[in-house]
Amino acid sequence: MDAAAKNRPDLSTHLAAERTFLAWIRTGVACMGFGFVVARFGIFLHELPLFKNASPTRSHGTSWLGIALVAIGVLMNVISAWHHARLVGTLNRGETPPSRPSAQAVILALLLAMIGLGMAVYLILLQYSHGPAQ
């Protein structure tokens, strides 16, 4: 047995990488789906007064959030595919992948936290612009 074959990881390592990749894909698809729902709901809120013979209200800006979530989901899937291809290549060469925190996970968490913070600030400002709650 040569050195490369001896260092080649077993099937369970490849399957673990595949499960991780599929988890990232599911997360990206969920993010895109949620973004689509948020964007469509913003359009629905904007068009709702037309059904009541009222003048259209100003948009509450939910569409930008939906578009951002869809874009993050697409980006997440592209980066996941690239990362998975690199990881499988590393494993096939018999090399040990570097042990470090997932930059992809950290960046995603920070992006979603910023979007969530932006939503919270927006909703607070929206609440105060309509006067105090009764």
Is residue 113 scored above 70 in pLDDT? yes
Cα–Cα dist 108/79, whole Å: 11
CA–centroid distance for 96 within its chain: 28
Q: Confidence band (pLDDT; 50, 70, 90) for 40? A: confident
Who wins on pLDDT, 133 or 126?
126
Q: What is the mean pLDDT of residues 42-56?
A: 61
pLDDT tens digit sequence for 68-112: 888 999 998 999 999 899 999 988 888 888 777 778 788 888 888
Q: How far is CA 44 from CA 51, 81, 129, in A?
A: 11, 34, 21
Q: Confidence band (pLDDT; 50, 70, 90) for 134? A: very low
